[in-house]
Each structure stands twice: as structure tokens, then as C-alpha cells.
């Protein structure tokens, strides 16, 4: 390994992401032949095929999948060594990977992205929706940032005090759930209380990789349960179905105020006491002294916090 070309690690990283020699070559600005030759050298170095050809592209071998987490860690460390001590956003071409819960997009991006595009026009953000593996990816430094929901209510396992020690975080805004129902829903002619809330069937949206939320934990403490008729993963589709049915949808209030105006929906308070939760920006302590990382997370947090405090 003393003569190993560490540039090959970047090739391996891109091949793991693209699962295609053609796509990897395009991203690396190399010919397909050059990437194929570098893959051959990687196979010789690691004494493994690394990828198998299928009708759907390249499929990583178990060895390649096992290498992926450590590969990302090594490349992050090399990147840190080569970064300038003073960050110049107008010159940076860094690509940041961010996972965030679906409802966070409209609550964050409009408030920091216009300034980012102006100050750092060559920076790229690769955003994906937060899922069940996102926290582990943060802990392995496979993504740069995450925006997820956490609770301040002591009845929740997702309490802020349970954030892993390896992570840093900053609270962006607080929010609470509300109920959305069709403007024609019969419950609007009834007294609104917990009995009415539980009388009708519900539509549940699973987001943030979590199926069980504080509301249900609190109800179960009282040996109560919602009758969930449909479980979905998309709030836009859920609001449309809510508008066209007698299903009730619980949704974060700030997101609901932005989106529900496009539908014939009435907003009602959740008829039980809940301490508002928070949207939280997470990152690994590994990035604490990375100038470009610091610049981005401070831009996201300062602009998002300022907007929501003013509104």
C-alpha cells in the first residue's frame, strides 16, 4: 500500500454513489476507459471485485459496502487537511450533503438559500429527505448536516436530552401539531374536545423516519388511541385526501399554515396538552472547526431563527 494512489478513493466514493461507470466518469470529468482502469486498480488493491455488473448498473459487493463508512471518514479527514484556514465563500465549490424532514424544507430553505446563492454561487447542496438511517449517517460523518424534529416534552423518547454525545445541535424553531379537517366535515357541527377528536378516523403521515409521535405517546398514557385509517408518507397527497374525505390529519402548525391554504381545510387545535417540539440542526463534532461547514451552518441557523422570531 506504500505506493497507493489516494485519488482512487475518490473514484471509489463516486462509483458507490452512482453505481455506474458512465455516470461516475461524467462526475469526475474522466473518460469511461480511465474510470474502468482505476476500478481495475481498486479491485487489485482490495483483492475484491467491489462491483458486479447487473442490468440496472453496478451492484456493490459486501466488501465495497463494508468499506463505504470508513472511506467517507478518510475522505472527510483529507478534505479537512486541504481546506484553507480562511474560508472564502465566493470561491468555494464544496458540495454539502444535508438530510432534513419533509416539513423543514419550506421552513428553512427560503430564508437562507437566496443569500447563499449570492455569497457562494458555486457551493452545491445535496438535500435528501430524512429517513431511518439519517442519524447513523450523521454519526458516521457520511452527511454534513441534518434537520430533524426533537421534543421538549418529558413524555417523549425523542427528547432533546437524548441527542447522541457525538453530535452538536442548534434549535431552529419550535412548533406544535394542529388538526386539519375538510371544511365540510361533520365534526365542525359538534363540540370540539378530545372525545370528538377520537370519534373520527385519522390520516397519518409518517415523516422523519418515525412512525410514533408524541401525540400518540401521550394518548397511550391515558389508554387512548387514534383510529388511523390510512398511513402515507407525503403531506401534499395527505392534505388532498383530507380535503376530499372525513379523515382528520394532524400536522405541524407552521407547515400547515403555509400549505393548507391551498386546500378547503379547517385548522383546529389538538385537544390535549402537548409541549411544543423543535426543528433542530445537527452536525458531527468532527466538523466543529471546519471553516466552510461553520459558515454554512451559521448561515442556515441565523437566517432561519431570525425569520421565525420575527413572525
Whether residue 112 sits in one domain with residue 56: no
Residue 2 in domain: no
In sequence order, what are the beta bridge partners of 265? 182
Residue 33 in domain: yes
What CA–CA distance (Å, rounded) separates 305 from 108?
A: 9
| Number of domains into which the chain is organized | 3
Q: At residue 207, does pLDDT exceed 90?
A: no
40: domain CATH number is: 1.10.10.10
Whether residue 31 sits in one domain with residue 78: yes
Confidence band, pLDDT 50/70/90 cuts, at residue 233: confident
DSSP conformation class of 270? -
Lowest model confidence (mean pLDDT) among 41-55, 72-86, 195-209, 220-234? 72-86
Whether residue 300 sits in one domain with residue 164: yes
240 contact partners, CB below 8 Å, separation of at least 6? 263
Whether residue 268 sits in one domain with residue 193: yes
232: domain CATH number is: 3.40.190.10
Considering only residues 35 and 3, tell me which one the structure prediction assigns the higher pLDDT. Answer: 35
**pLDDT the model gives residue 72:** 75
What CA–CA distance (Å, rounded) separates 101 from 234?
A: 11
Question: What does the block give as the cell for 291?
Answer: 471553516
- The pair phi, psi for residue 234, each rounded to 5°, is -135, 120
Last residue of a domain, one of 82, 104, 131: 82
Whether residue 170 sits in one domain with residue 139: yes
Question: What does the block give as the cell for 232?
Answer: 402515507
- 3-class state of residue 162 by DSSP: helix
pLDDT in tens, 263-274: 999 999 999 999
Residue 1 in domain: no
Confidence band, pLDDT 50/70/90 cuts, at residue 82: low
Q: At residue 85, does pLDDT exceed 70?
A: no
- When the pLDDT of each residue in the chain is averaged and rounded to a whole number, the result is 89
Q: Which domain holds residue 39?
A: 7-82
Residue 297 contacts residue 145 (beta carbons within 8 Å): yes
Residue 182 in domain: yes
Q: Which helix (H) or strand (E) holds 128?
A: strand 124-129
pTM exceeding 0.85:
no
Residue 154 in domain: yes
In sequence order, what are the beta bridge partners of 173? 279
Amino acid at each position: 500500500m506504500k505506493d497507493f494512489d489516494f485519488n482512487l478513493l475518490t473514484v471509489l466514493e463516486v462509483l458507490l454513489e452512482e453505481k455506474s461507470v458512465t455516470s461516475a466518469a461524467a462526475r469526475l470529468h474522466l473518460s469511461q476507459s480511465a474510470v474502468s482502469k482505476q476500478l481495475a486498480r481498486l479491485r487489485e488493491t482490495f483483492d475484491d471485485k467491489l462491483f458486479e455488473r447487473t442490468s440496472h448498473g453496478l451492484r456493490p459487493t459486501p466488501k465495497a459496502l463494508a468499506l463505504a463508512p470508513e472511506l467517507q471518514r478518510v475522505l472527510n479527514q483529507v478534505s479537512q487537511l486541504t481546506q484553507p484556514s480562511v474560508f472564502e465563500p465566493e470561491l468555494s465549490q464544496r458540495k454539502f450533503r444535508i438530510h432534513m424532514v419533509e416539513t423543514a424544507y419550506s421552513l428553512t430553505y427560503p430564508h437562507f438559500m437566496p443569500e447563499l446563492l449570492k455569497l457562494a454561487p458555486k457551493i452545491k447542496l445535496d438535500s435528501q429527505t430524512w429517513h431511518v438511517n439519517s442519524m447513523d449517517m450523521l454519526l458516521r460523518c457520511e452527511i454534513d448536516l441534518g434537520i430533524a424534529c426533537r421534543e421538549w416534552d418529558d413524555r417523549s423518547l425523542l427528547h432533546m436530552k437524548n441527542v447522541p454525545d457525538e453530535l452538536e445541535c442548534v434549535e431552529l424553531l419550535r412548533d406544535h401539531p394542529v388538526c386539519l379537517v375538510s371544511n365540510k366535515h361533520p365534526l365542525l357541527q359538534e363540540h370540539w374536545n378530545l372525545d370528538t377528536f377520537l370519534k373520527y378516523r385519522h390520516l397519518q403521515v409518517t415523516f422523519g423516519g418515525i412512525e410514533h409521535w408524541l401525540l400518540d405517546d401521550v394518548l397511550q398514557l391515558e389508554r387512548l388511541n387514534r383510529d388511523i385509517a390510512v398511513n402515507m408518507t407525503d403531506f401534499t397527497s395527505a392534505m388532498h385526501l383530507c380535503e376530499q374525505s372525513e379523515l382528520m390529519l394532524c400536522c405541524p402548525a407552521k407547515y400547515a399554515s403555509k400549505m393548507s391554504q391551498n386546500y378547503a381545510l379547517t385548522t383546529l387545535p389538538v385537544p390535549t396538552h402537548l409541549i411544543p417540539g423543535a426543528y433542530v440542526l445537527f452536525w458531527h463534532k468532527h466538523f466543529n472547526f471546519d471553516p466552510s461547514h461553520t459558515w454554512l451552518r451559521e448561515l442556515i441557523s441565523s437566517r432561519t431563527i431570525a425569520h421565525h422570531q420575527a413572525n
